[in-house]
Amino acid sequence: MAQEYPSLTPALRAFIARQHIFFAASAAAGTRINISPRSTREFRVLGDNEVCWLDLTGSGAETAAHMKADGRLTIMFCAFEGPPNILRLYGQGEILHRDSAEFARMLATHFGGERPVGMRQIVRLAVDLVKTSCGYGVPAFDYRQERPALDNWAANKGRDGVEAYWREKNVVSMDGLPTGIVD
């Protein structure tokens, strides 16, 4: 059943490496709670208590707004294949802006320096609690493939088109909080 850990163990890192999807949950005082599904293709374990992911353009920017306002962030992985398991990473998140030196360092060190056209920023989580639970109620699904739609959309828009989209759709959250995505 449920177990708590102060950090990621080798077994938990191996579990993360086998997953294809994770969910990021965030909120700030007086806002709606946001839960976003994301591909693990952009996810990296940086250390025993640190993870990050490349944040690709989306229709909203709730995570960015919540990190700017509050910083609380939870990441959840579910075993949809193999033995049941749920893994949650709790902690304080931060946004690394795409024009910052820390962003450039992280991109070079952990993502091969590749800057996808639709990438907005890097979200980094300082993990202060790791918790597992049984996952018995999670249905089993078979993974087929990544969807190319977002990458195709960004490539078709081009850098200027994606930045115009950010100015139109990603300046504030649905609750009116600034996201910091566009200066």
Residue 181 within a domain: no
Domains of the chain: total: 1
Residue 53 within a domain: yes
Both ends of the chain: CA-CA distance in Å?
46
Residue 82 within a domain: yes
CATH number of the domain bearing residue 157: 2.30.110.10
Residue 176 within a domain: no
| CA neighbor of 98 nearest in space, from 107, 88, 110, 90 | 107
| CA neighbor of 42 nearest in space, from 54, 27, 24 | 54
What is the DSSP-derived secondary structure letter of residue 66? H
- The domain in which residue 18 lies consists of 3-135+145-169
Q: Which helix (H) or strand (E) holds 104?
A: helix 101-110
Residue 58 within a domain: yes
Partners of residue 88 on adjacent β-strands: 76, 131
| Entry pTM | 0.95
Pairwise CA distance, residues 127 & 7, whole Å: 7
Pairwise CA distance, residues 89 & 73, whole Å: 8
**Contacts of 150 by beta carbon, 8 Å cutoff, 6+ apart:** 56, 57, 118
What is the DSSP-derived secondary structure letter of residue 178? B
- Each residue's pLDDT, cut to its tens digit, for the chain (183 residues) gives 789 999 999 999 999 999 999 999 999 999 999 999 999 999 999 999 999 999 999 999 999 999 999 999 999 999 999 999 999 999 999 999 999 999 999 999 999 999 999 999 999 999 999 999 999 999 999 999 999 999 999 999 999 999 999 999 999 999 999 999 997
